A and B are shown apart, each in its own frame.
Chain A
């Protein structure tokens, strides 16, 4: 039996109060213990069992690792989905890296370790301005699916940024921004990213009106 309600976990009703609960604090794990659990591939269940004390250790290991292991740790942080200032700090250093695997994992992980405004801003910037279309696309994916700790106000700002991106000059940016909005809201408001400018502007007005309504209900 599939738990179809679960696909709504990333929906508009998500709020800080609904963020994954932190597990009770435990004895901080040792670095060697955590490092051992990252090999040969991360044992997320075992790391989760150690509690949030693993987060600063993972961040510390991240800072001293090569790109391959940083990629693996970023994936681990993504999988844990726990907020962590240390994790956000180290991940942000690689948010513009040219290493494809590392970049993707970092972009996906950021929203799962932090709801700081600069995370969304940076991902939006990558979505709109990165020179690599793959990185732009995956930044949009992260904005669509992985901003799991946002408050309602922060959600509103995310929607604002995505709606702004519907006016981007590049077709791909308009397409991926719309996709992110559709995943977040279930709607397109008939915005056709490849449509004529006049039609796009009309649909954009629909989105703007929707955003105003959304704001009025906060």
Chain B
């Protein structure tokens, strides 16, 4: 997408990975698991029916300035409506219809859509892209069409190539068959009323000639950043299919296949008081980007990597490029470290995780595992500093609460001896001498904040950091133990303590709401979420929780209102909302 939603890591990484697994029951709504159904159709929008719910698993609409994305009956290729995208030059932004579908990193993706342009002299862009969004690299844009100077151009092998001169107000049907592995596509374009295609290209290199460039999103925009386009164009009949059916989890709420807390719930089953490795849900966890994955594929070593991750017997030969062998060795080290950690040999585990990180420095899961080893060893000073670094890197990762809970459990096995952790956490909430911890806690914890705390409290910054991390760990331990009432009460104490010091309380008020949500007390959760939102600019996660809770309370309008505040909506021009500003604090003043 042109804009990277804060929840993108969930939508494209963790959540996408989870979606490929068997669906678990939704936190609040579903009573029994609904198995995913295999389907070869990823996306189909004719824009005629009323099931056009924007969301993380469908599409987003961006109308930030004067540009518009509207349903229109003025022109349509089929049915009675299409989508009109209208850009306005010089307004500081661009409108966009951006769609999401499960990641395709192999096989063939077929895309079809109809396009009508009012003024071909104005610029528009259409793209298929992957986890690297709309960038010029593997995993970025794979397919790119653009109008320029009256021509429809494709961008193949980094070269803009003219295809046809576009006639105004004529429908063009675009059919694409993208071979992901080869990184090539066949492209056919037909004009309405003509039997033969006017473009019929075979085996075109993708946008940046990157074999194996995966895709998981599409986008229709005006110009791509120069803010010079006044394009007005119409899109209809978007259909994306694949050659082999894939599991598609059912929708549990409009626009989404999981509620926010479903991912959290999925991870609870693996939690124990003994630190153990968190699951890998994306190859990026190991610092493996698209290039590295492609190299592994090219070397025929991807199955070996999958075997290693899944714990199946695998042998690393020295065939393959040095980078591929290094990747396999690092994952092997990580897996061995996980085994050592599980068997109680945290020293060996730490050594292996450190070596794995040396081989693949970008692997956050290696660092996470090292922190867990340090926790198992009781080396809290080191664990806390490194945890603070992860805190920022994993801010939107659904495994962060699990990590915090695991570490909290390592500080004190709550099954047998909850008191020490409880007492320490309680002290943070109540002891006025722990001002530094509260200052750290009330902001977004990351390494720069650690540096600031270190500068401000040079004598006791370590104990301060330790104390700052305790409350969240304790809170998540309580959630993990399903002691939701205790978690809610503790969060309330923390919020109260921060408020008495005039420090920001919104994150802890939100946590009160989370505990209530998990208790299925949706009305109380709603109240706390609204309170939290009213104390600062709410992030996308909180907005989604608000949407979820309204959905569970049966308030269709407000569920939609909050969801659309993030993902926008498709509507006709006469229904365009007057203001889409996110500065709401309560439902009353929410758009």
Assess the B4–A2 pair: CB atoms within 8 A. yes
Q: Is B149 an interface residue (CB 8 A)?
A: yes
Given contacts A4-B3, A21-B90, contact A185 B136 (CB under 8 A): yes
B120-159 to A contact mask, C-beta < 8 Å, 1/0: 0001010000000111110010000010110000010111
Q: Give the size category of A's interface with B.
A: 20 to 34
Chain A residue nearest to B4 (CB atoms) is: A2
Assess the A4–B133 pair: CB atoms within 8 A. yes
Assess the B158–A7 pair: CB atoms within 8 A. no
Given contacts A13-B146, A21-B90, contact A217 B161 (CB under 8 A): yes
A157 to B: closest C-beta gap in Å: 15
Using Cβ atoms and an 8 Å threshold, which residues of chain A touch B223?
Answer: 18
Q: Is B160 an interface residue (CB 8 A)?
A: yes
Using Cβ atoms and an 8 Å threshold, which residues of chain B touch A187?
Answer: 157-158, 208-210
Using Cβ atoms and an 8 Å threshold, which residues of chain A touch B434?
Answer: none
Chain A residue nearest to B129 (CB atoms) is: A4
Q: Is A17 an interface residue (CB 8 A)?
A: yes
Complex Cα gap A15–B125 (Å): 15
Complex Cα gap A7–B2 (Å): 10
Complex Cα gap A210–B208 (Å): 12
Given contacts A1-B3, A18-B123, A187-B209, contact A13 B224 (CB under 8 A): yes
A91-126 to B contact mask, C-beta < 8 Å, 1/0: 000000000000000000000000000000000000
Interchain CB contact (< 8 A) of A19 among B90, B94, B133, B226: B226
Complex Cα gap A199–B1 (Å): 37
The CB with the most chain B CB atoms within 10 A, among A1, A7, A152, is that of A1
Chain A residue nearest to B229 (CB atoms) is: A18
Given contacts A4-B134, A213-B157, contact A9 B3 (CB under 8 A): no
Complex Cα gap A185–B135 (Å): 11
A197-217 to B contact mask, C-beta < 8 Å, 1/0: 000000000000010011001
A105 to B: closest C-beta gap in Å: 24
User: Majority SS of interface residues in chain B?
Assistant: loop
Given contacts A13-B146, A186-B136, A186-B208, contact A1 B6 (CB under 8 A): yes
Q: Is A12 an interface residue (CB 8 A)?
A: yes
Complex Cα gap A187–B213 (Å): 13
Q: Is A8 an interface residue (CB 8 A)?
A: yes
Q: Is B162 an interface residue (CB 8 A)?
A: yes
Using Cβ atoms and an 8 Å threshold, which residues of chain A touch B1?
Answer: 4
Complex Cα gap A21–B89 (Å): 10
Which residues in window 1-22 of B have CB below 8 A to A? Answer: 1-6
Interchain CB contact (< 8 A) of A18 among B93, B137, B228: B228
Assess the B160–A6 pair: CB atoms within 8 A. no
B153 to A: closest C-beta gap in Å: 8
A5-33 to B contact mask, C-beta < 8 Å, 1/0: 11111011111011111000000000000
Assess the A3–B136 pair: CB atoms within 8 A. no
Using Cβ atoms and an 8 Å threshold, which residues of chain B touch A20?
Answer: 226
Complex Cα gap A11–B133 (Å): 15
Assess the A186–B6 pair: CB atoms within 8 A. no
Assess the A21–B228 pair: CB atoms within 8 A. yes
B515 to A: closest C-beta gap in Å: 29
Complex Cα gap A11–B137 (Å): 12
Q: Give the size category of B's interface with A.
A: 35 or more
B150 to A: closest C-beta gap in Å: 11
Chain B residue nearest to A210 (CB atoms) is: B157
Using Cβ atoms and an 8 Å threshold, which residues of chain A touch B134?
Answer: 4-5, 7-8
Complex Cα gap A11–B134 (Å): 12
Assess the A217–B159 pair: CB atoms within 8 A. yes
Chain A residue nearest to B93 (CB atoms) is: A3
Using Cβ atoms and an 8 Å threshold, which residues of chain B touch A11?
Answer: 136, 224
Complex Cα gap A181–B89 (Å): 30
Complex Cα gap A217–B151 (Å): 12
Chain A residue nearest to B146 (CB atoms) is: A13
Q: Is B331 an interface residue (CB 8 A)?
A: no
Complex Cα gap A1–B159 (Å): 29
Assess the A7–B5 pair: CB atoms within 8 A. no
Q: Is B225 an interface residue (CB 8 A)?
A: yes
Chain B residue nearest to A181 (CB atoms) is: B158
Given contacts A18-B226, A21-B89, A210-B157, contact A2 B3 (CB under 8 A): yes
Given contacts A213-B159, A217-B159, contact A3 B209 (CB under 8 A): no
Using Cβ atoms and an 8 Å threshold, which residues of chain A touch B3?
Answer: 1-4
Given contacts A3-B2, A12-B159, contact A17 B224 (CB under 8 A): no
Using Cβ atoms and an 8 Å threshold, which residues of chain A touch B125?
Answer: 5
Chain B residue nearest to A183 (CB atoms) is: B136
Given contacts A11-B136, A185-B136, contact A6 B224 (CB under 8 A): yes
Interchain CB contact (< 8 A) of B208 among A2, A15, A185: A185
Complex Cα gap A11–B223 (Å): 13
Assess the B4–A1 pair: CB atoms within 8 A. yes
Q: Is B296 an interface residue (CB 8 A)?
A: no
Using Cβ atoms and an 8 Å threshold, which residues of chain A touch B208?
Answer: 185-187
Assess the B2–A4 pair: CB atoms within 8 A. yes
Q: Is B221 an interface residue (CB 8 A)?
A: yes
Interchain CB contact (< 8 A) of A5 among B94, B148, B162, B209: B94
A25 to B: closest C-beta gap in Å: 16
Using Cβ atoms and an 8 Å threshold, which residues of chain B touch A213?
Answer: 157, 159
Using Cβ atoms and an 8 Å threshold, which residues of chain A touch B159?
Answer: 12, 210, 213-214, 217
Assess the B155–A12 pair: CB atoms within 8 A. yes
A144 to B: closest C-beta gap in Å: 12
Which residues in window 154-176 of B have CB below 8 A to A? Answer: 155, 157-162
The CB with the most chain B CB atoms within 10 A, among A2, A4, A15, A210, is that of A4
20 sample A-B contacts, Cβ–Cβ < 8 Å, listed by A number: A1-B5, A1-B6, A3-B93, A6-B225, A7-B225, A9-B224, A9-B226, A11-B224, A12-B159, A13-B155, A15-B148, A21-B89, A185-B158, A186-B137, A186-B140, A186-B208, A213-B157, A217-B159, A217-B161, A217-B162
Given contacts A13-B224, A152-B160, 10 further A-B contacts (CB under 8 A): A3-B93, A5-B221, A7-B136, A8-B134, A8-B225, A12-B159, A18-B223, A186-B137, A213-B159, A217-B162
